[in-house]
Amino acid sequence: MKRSTAILILCVTCAVSGPAAQVKKNTPLVIKEQGSFFVGGENKTITQPGPGANPAQTGEITVNQMYVQYQIPVKGSQHVPVVMVHGCCLSSKTWETTPDGRMGWDEYFVRRDRSVYLADQVSRARSGFDPTGFVDVRQGKTPPDKMPGILDASHQVAWTVFRFGPRYGETFPDGQFPIEAVDELYKQMIPDLNSTLPNPNPTWKQMAALATRLRGAVLMGHSESGFFPEEAALIDPSGVRGIISIEMPCRAVTPEQLATLARIPSLFVFGDHLGDVSGGPANWQQSFNSCNTLVDQLKKAGGDATMMHLPAMGIKGNSHMLMQDKNSDQIAELVIGWIEQHVETRNRGTR
């Protein structure tokens, strides 16, 4: 066998199977430090009906804070921390134990010696939300049609938007999502109250502040939050060492914004069957195209931008929920490999 053929075979194998998972899952997990905290938050004055016949009471509540849960492994200081932010109608549960009970990316990355910070988006889950828009309607201060909309994706919508198959109840033959456990995914899906948020979305500012607080972090977003790392960097790039954007539309950026983003290594990840689902509120092929455009723009501006389109690498059948797909470990390794090569090598000696 000629050497070039051997290399070719090696590379094809590498592309199809991806890097081997490097994590021993049945050994104890050793944590240097863990906990939770909030980033940001402001006081807001509210007037509420008193209990019973008591007069209305004016007081302060805290809004726009972002809840963050973290684990720092023993060797965490040798690597750049990773902040993971979930998508629409979901919480940080996205990154934890998969619907079929396997290890989530949160622990996988920790076992690969990365400090992991899971943030619940502002207005979701443990971050809480500003109830004023609802309370005002109940009290007759605002008409019902001015009430904030609640986005609550049904099982039917999720099935196609998350690309489990071409239509509800049908799967792709090579689909990687653990469809036998789809009911466990449905339980993760919770009402999305982002319509209660001010503009710009406070989650962006809090993500930027978190990256600064960590003295540098890779920001990772998915779907609704896929472009949040970029938005965070455009508010304050100083702590953003790398951007990982998973499956979302990339918006147009100004030349000035492009110059800022081009200074940060960026990875874009897309799964399979982007054009194989018809109808529904998402158009993944269009999203993919928009991010390819941004990758080109970033490269032309001197940036280090990578499009990781999994099927083009021989990795087939990944859904929109690729961090929960059956080959989630494999994709985690690809992402960690990118961090090593594009963020940590670049930053070595400067941290």
Residue numbers of the site for its own copies (CB under 8 A)? 28-32, 34-38, 41, 43, 46, 48, 51, 57, 59-62, 65, 67, 69, 74, 91-93, 96-97, 101, 103-104, 107, 120, 125-129, 131, 134-135, 137-138, 140, 144-145, 147, 149-150, 152-157, 183-184, 186-191, 281
Smallest gap, in angstroms, from Cβ of residue 290 to its own copies? Answer: 18
Nearer to its own copies, 6 or 29 (CB): 29
Least CB distance to its own copies at residue 56 (A): 12
Identity of the residue numbered 170: E
Nearest approach, Cβ of 178 to its own copies (angstroms)? Answer: 14
Closest distance to its own copies from the beta carbon of 73 (Å): 9
Report, in Å, the least distance between residue 63 CB and its own copies.
9
Q: How far is the CB of 278 from its own copies (least distance, A)?
A: 14
Residues ≥6 apart with Cβ < 8 Å to 92: 69, 84, 86, 106, 118, 119, 120, 125
* CB distance 132 to 44 below 8 Å: yes
Q: How far is the CB of 123 from its own copies (least distance, A)?
A: 10
Our measurement of the distance from residue 228's CA atom to the centroid of its chain's CA atoms, rounded to an integer in Å, reads 8
Q: Which is nearer to its own copies, 62 or 238 (CB)?
A: 62
- B/e letters for 295-307, b = 16+ CB within 10 Å, e = fewer, are bebbeebebbbbb
Q: Give 13 or 47: the residue with its C-beta nearer to its own copies.
A: 47
Nearest to 62, CA basis, from 195, 206, 189, 220: 206
Distances (CA, A) of 338 to 325, 343, 349: 19, 8, 18
- C-alpha 83/C-alpha 322 separation (Å) is 17
Angstrom distance (rounded) from CA 266 to CA 320: 19
Listed in sequence order, the residues at least 6 apart from 146 whose beta carbon sits closer than 8 Å to its beta carbon are 133, 137
Complex with its own copies: residue 138 or 351, whichever CB lies closer: 138
Nearer Cβ to its own copies (71/260)? 71
Residue 42 and residue 62: Cα distance in Å, rounded? Answer: 5
Type of residue at 254: T
Strand 57-63 relative to strand 42-48: parallel, antiparallel, unpaired?
antiparallel
Q: Which is closer to its own copies, CB of 7 or CB of 150?
A: 150
For residues 103 and 305, which CB has a smaller minimum distance to its own copies in the complex?
Answer: 103
